[in-house]
């Protein structure tokens, strides 16, 4: 089943898609426009691309089966192993943490408890998701709205359990500035990305307290998380292949997320596309220069804590729904936790995560040279992070 949009909206997005076709975005679309037929197609792997029927549906269906045949048993085995070996590692890591100078905060024990929390959340999420599908016959018995609402409720529980659990286990605190600017929707949410630890931050700060239904633009690798795979594919989200060579239709799929949003909805995207590191920053600036975007490269070269934003996805959303405001979620506190070694050594313990939300009215978003506008917004984010980190060091 194919979505149909107004001719003006489609032509606008098509022009934008042609401009950014070299950005390398490929998506898996699960739009809720189209009713229960699309929900059933999404669960079976029969997704449709923005420009028409997917000619490769059977391949994607087989790929989904192969992926889930690995990821779901892996979670079950990991949880079983965690439970069976818990008496051993509880004693072992308690002794190891106690013998290491400066490790009195029990980093290994906390990390192992977090893994258990994650495995339990995954297993419960999978079981509930499968039960919802079976008991409602894929939503046919309850209708599209109630079927979606049940999955949004499951998504809130899963993300909130991980958010509260992780902050509690690692004795972390959070300080939020400007929360009031994001209370009225709909809007497009740009989120800074610095660590795997920040992936549930937007849910914990905005989506769950406000019961806001975000449509997510996420990297395709996250489909290997079985709970995200099952529930995420039943909700209107797009999973992007950041290394794809062709992107025209996929940019349209991202743009479609911004259409027909209700007041309790929004679209969330990570403009950087990946976590920050100095090496990634240098490579990104070099790529921008190679494309002949010297002015943008100069702005990007001044960044100290963020990567240059990838323009295709964010600007496709703005182009598709120019009436929407943009909210930027900036944060500092997860820096340095970009590897398992740092996580295992307790880098997160006792940290304070600072969050700033700022809203940019649609009327203040320029109609031209939006690439520069986006880079300048990220420069403002970079300067705020630098100031927060400087203040933290001074304390």
Q: 290 lies in which domain range?
A: 7-69+171-394
Angle CA(220)–CA(66)–CA(150) in degrees, nearest 5? 65
Per-residue model confidence as pLDDT tens for the chain (395 residues): 323 333 334 444 444 445 444 444 333 344 333 333 333 333 333 333 333 445 567 888 888 999 999 999 999 999 999 999 999 999 988 888 777 765 668 888 999 999 999 999 999 999 999 999 999 999 999 999 999 999 999 999 999 999 999 999 999 999 999 999 999 999 999 999 988 878 899 999 999 999 999 999 999 999 999 999 999 999 999 998 877 655 667 788 999 999 999 999 999 999 998 888 889 999 999 999 999 999 999 999 999 999 999 999 999 999 999 999 999 999 999 987 777 888 888 889 999 999 999 999 999 999 999 999 999 999 999 999 999 988 776 56
- Flag whether 210 is in a domain: yes
- Flag whether 161 is in a domain: no
- Flag whether 371 is in a domain: yes
CATH of the domain at 48: 3.40.1130
* DSSP per position, 77-143: HHHHHHHHHHHHHHHHHHHHHHHSTT-TT-HHHHHHHHHHHHHHHHHHHHHHHHHHHHHHTTTTTT-
- Determine contact, residues 34/53, Cβ cutoff 8 Å: no
- Flag whether 48 is in a domain: yes
HEC assignment per residue over 240-255: EECCCCCCHHHHHHHH
List b or e across 341-368, with b for residues whose CB sees 16 or more CB atoms inside 10 angstroms. eebebbbbeebebbbbbbbbeeeebeee
Radius of gyration of the chain (CA): 21
- Flag whether 96 is in a domain: no
Q: Which residues touch 273 (CB under 8 Å, ≥6 apart)? A: 193, 219, 242, 307, 310, 313
- Flag whether 111 is in a domain: no
What residues does 52 pair with on adjacent strands?
Answer: 49
- Flag whether 127 is in a domain: no
Question: Which pTM was predicted?
Answer: 0.84
Q: What is the total count of domains within the chain?
A: 1
- Flag whether 189 is in a domain: yes
The span from the CA of 163 to the CA of 42, in Å, is 28
């Amino acid at each position: 089943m194919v979505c149909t949009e107004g001719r003006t909206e489609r032509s606008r997005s098509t022009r934008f898609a042609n401009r950014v076709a070299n950005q390398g975005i490929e998506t898996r679309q699960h739009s809720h426009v189209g009713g229960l037929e699309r929900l059933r197609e999404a669960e079976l792997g029969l997704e449709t691309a923005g420009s028409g029927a997917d000619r490769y549906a059977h391949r994607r269906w087989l790929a989904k089966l192969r992926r889930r045949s690995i990821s779901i048993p892996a979670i079950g085995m990991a949880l079983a192993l965690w439970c069976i070996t818990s008496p051993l590692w509880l004693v072992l890591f308690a002794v190891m943490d106690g013998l290491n100078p400066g490790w009195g905060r029990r980093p290994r024990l906390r990390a192992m408890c977090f893994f258990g929390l994650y495995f339990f959340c995954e297993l419960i999420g999978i079981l509930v998701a499968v039960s919802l599908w079976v008991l409602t016959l894929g939503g046919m018995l309850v209708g599209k709205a109630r079927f979606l609402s049940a999955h949004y409720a499951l998504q809130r529980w899963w993300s909130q359990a991980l958010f509260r659990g992780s902050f509690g286990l690692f004795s972390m605190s959070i300080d939020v500035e400007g929360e009031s600017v994001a209370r009225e929707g709909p809007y497009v949410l740009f989120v800074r990305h610095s660590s795997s630890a920040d992936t549930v931050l937007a849910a914990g700060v905005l989506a769950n307290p406000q019961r806001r239904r975000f449509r997510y633009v996420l990297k395709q690798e996250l489909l290997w998380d079985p709970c995200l795979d099952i529930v995420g594919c039943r909700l209107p989200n797009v999973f992007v292949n950041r290394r794809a060579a062709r992107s025209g239709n996929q940019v349209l799929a991202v743009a479609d997320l911004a259409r027909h949003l209700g007041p309790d909805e929004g679209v969330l995207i990570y403009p950087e596309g990946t976590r920050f590191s100095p090496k990634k920053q240098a490579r990104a600036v070099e790529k921008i220069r190679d494309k002949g975007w010297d002015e943008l490269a100069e702005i990007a070269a001044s960044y100290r804590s963020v990567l240059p934003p990838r323009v295709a996805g964010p600007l496709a959303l703005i182009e598709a729904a120019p009436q929407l405001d943009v909210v930027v979620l900036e944060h500092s506190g997860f820096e340095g936790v970009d590897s398992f070694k740092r996580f295992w050594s307790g880098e997160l313990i006792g940290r304070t995560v600072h969050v700033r939300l700022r809203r940019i009215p649609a009327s203040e978003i320029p109609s031209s040279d939006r690439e520069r506008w986006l880079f300048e917004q990220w420069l403002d984010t970079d300067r705020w992070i630098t100031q927060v980190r400087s203040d933290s060091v001074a304390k």
